[in-house]
Amino acid sequence: MTKDMHDKDSATRRDFIKAGMAAGVGALLSPLLVKTAHAAAEAAPAAAPAAAAAAAEKPKLKIGDVLRVAREKLYPICRVCPECDGVACAGEVPGMGGIGSGQAFKNNYNTLNKIDLVMRTFHDVKKPDLTTTLFGHKLSMPVTSAVTGGVSYNMGGKMTEEEYVISILGGCMDAGTLGWVADGIGDKMDVFERRIAVLKNMFGGNAIVTIKPKTNDEIITRFRMVEDAGGLAVAIDIDSAGRAARAVPGQTVEPKTPKQLAELAKSTKLPFIIKGIMTVEEAKIAVDVGAKGVCVSNHGGRVLDYTPATATVLPAIADAIKGKATILVDGAVRRGQDVLKYLAMGADACLCGRPLVRGAHGGGREGVALMMNIIKDELTVAMTLTGVPSVKNVPANVITKGQA
């Protein structure tokens, strides 16, 4: 219980959480706690030495402020709950929740939450190595952004889609990691073109671009554009195929046969990733058809009610294809410990979604970078206290089934 173990950011974050405890349900905001939160917010400038007033235009962003602003912008689409567990927003699609009963989102959170970490301290891992390489790209840690978008209909429309993309890609880059560019089923070609232009002109192509499971021709056209923009890899989020029966012109989505997937893999010189894999069988097919990466994902619990947690299916998938393709996973990554758990289950890297939505809305590019850096810090502590020297080789015995 020492003060030095936790920097001021953490303290501010906790003040927010305390306020959030009351405010999360939307109505029971205790005056006392509000005061505490405000005091924390005001404490920032007050704590700055008077002499630094001129330079204080750009003070270091604090997590408490990011969360506070995020809630103001996202409420009531997202309540920025103290713990982002899919309960408050259950059923809110469009929005930020899980579809239907919300159980698939809750599965992701609850299953991961019940996995414990084995603490070990008799070793000399003082400065664990978090760096890794993803499709040839060096990362400061094995965490990228998840595939999120639809600012106007999912997040309340307080940012433009472009501001959002820049925040995500820029914040990830600033934290030494990588962002993904999302796609929308109904996005017209000019929308996609503007997005690719941002990717190329502002970020030199440093991102993975995912396309909806449109017709192969439409996908291949877009793959070509990503290649031209210098993108690192392309993906399809095949878990978006549920509306196949409702196809309207220009908005086709469809499940894909192995043959169609092979055509896509062959169509591009970039690494091809299939996102939305939830069975060993399809993971093996993905490798067979030439995918360089698979992303174990149930689309954040937003496409098929009652899908299992990604943490439930990941271990068997990793057993089956480890080393044959890069294994990515998303689902309820909230803190560095979650990353360590997924690595211990066999993932090569994780995608982090909802926390970055908060970061982008609460602090733009800087907010996203702050979120990523907090996760990096938490992962460092977790690796030290479990004795894991490197993210590239996390032993399975770092995790254990939770008891309660």
Q: Does 158 bind a copy of itself (CB under 8 A)?
A: no
- Distances in Å between the alpha carbon of 75 and those of 67, 287, 309? 11, 42, 27
Could you tell me the smallest distance in angstroms from the CB atom of residue 14 to a copy of itself?
Answer: 5
Q: Does 4 bind a copy of itself (CB under 8 A)?
A: yes
Collapsed DSSP state (helix, strand, coil) of residue 142: coil
Contacts of a copy of itself in 74-93 (CB under 8 A)? 76, 82-83, 88, 90-93
Q: Does 145 bind a copy of itself (CB under 8 A)?
A: no
Which position among 200, 256, 358, 361 is part of the footprint of a copy of itself (CB under 8 A)? 256
Cβ atoms within 10 Å, residue 56: 13
Could you tell me the smallest distance in angstroms from the CB atom of residue 376 to a copy of itself?
Answer: 10
Q: Does 320 bind a copy of itself (CB under 8 A)?
A: no
Could you tell me the smallest distance in angstroms from the CB atom of residue 344 to a copy of itself?
Answer: 11
Contacts of a copy of itself in 108-137 (CB under 8 A)? 110-111, 113-128
- Looking at beta carbons only, is 146 or 169 nearer to a copy of itself? 146
Amino acid at 164: Y
Q: Does 370 bind a copy of itself (CB under 8 A)?
A: no
Residues 6+ apart with CB under 8 A from 377: 336
Tokens of 244: 């196949």
- Looking at beta carbons only, is 205 or 387 nearer to a copy of itself? 387
Binding segment (CB under 8 A) for a copy of itself, from list 44-52, 159-167, 361-369, 374-382:
374-382
Helical (H) or strand (E) element with 264 = helix 258-266
DSSP for residue 387: T
Q: Does 3 bind a copy of itself (CB under 8 A)?
A: yes
Tally of CA atoms within 13 A in the half-sphere of 228 that contains its CB: 10
Cβ atoms within 10 Å, residue 254: 18
Could you tell me the smallest distance in angstroms from the CB atom of residue 232 to a copy of itself?
Answer: 22
- Looking at beta carbons only, is 393 or 403 nearer to a copy of itself? 403
Q: Does 21 bind a copy of itself (CB under 8 A)?
A: yes
Contact yes or no for 318/327 (Cβ under 8 A): yes
Q: Is 18 exposed, middle or buried (0-12, 13-18, 19+ CB in 10 A)?
A: middle
Contacts of a copy of itself in 221-240 (CB under 8 A)? 238-240
Q: Does 191 bind a copy of itself (CB under 8 A)?
A: no
- Distances in Å between the alpha carbon of 34 and those of 39, 82, 177? 8, 14, 35
x/- mask, a copy of itself, residues 261-300, rule CB under 8 A, reads x--------------x-xx-xx--x------------xxx
**Alpha-helical regions (H) of 24-139:** 31-47, 63-74, 103-113
- Looking at beta carbons only, is 113 or 177 nearer to a copy of itself? 113
Binding segment (CB under 8 A) for a copy of itself, from list 31-39, 168-176, 221-229, 322-330:
31-39
Distance separating alpha carbons of residues 182 and 176, to the nearest angstrom: 20
Could you tell me the smallest distance in angstroms from the CB atom of residue 251 to a copy of itself?
Answer: 5
Binding segment (CB under 8 A) for a copy of itself, from list 32-40, 59-67, 199-207, 314-322:
32-40
- Distances in Å between the alpha carbon of 179 and those of 105, 145, 174, 331? 22, 5, 11, 16
Binding segment (CB under 8 A) for a copy of itself, from list 65-73, 103-111, 318-326, 361-369:
103-111
- Looking at beta carbons only, is 95 or 367 nearer to a copy of itself? 95
Q: Does 384 bind a copy of itself (CB under 8 A)?
A: yes
**Alpha-helical regions (H) of 145-188:** 151-154, 161-174
Q: Whole-angstrom distance between the N-terminal and C-terminal Cα of the chain?
A: 24
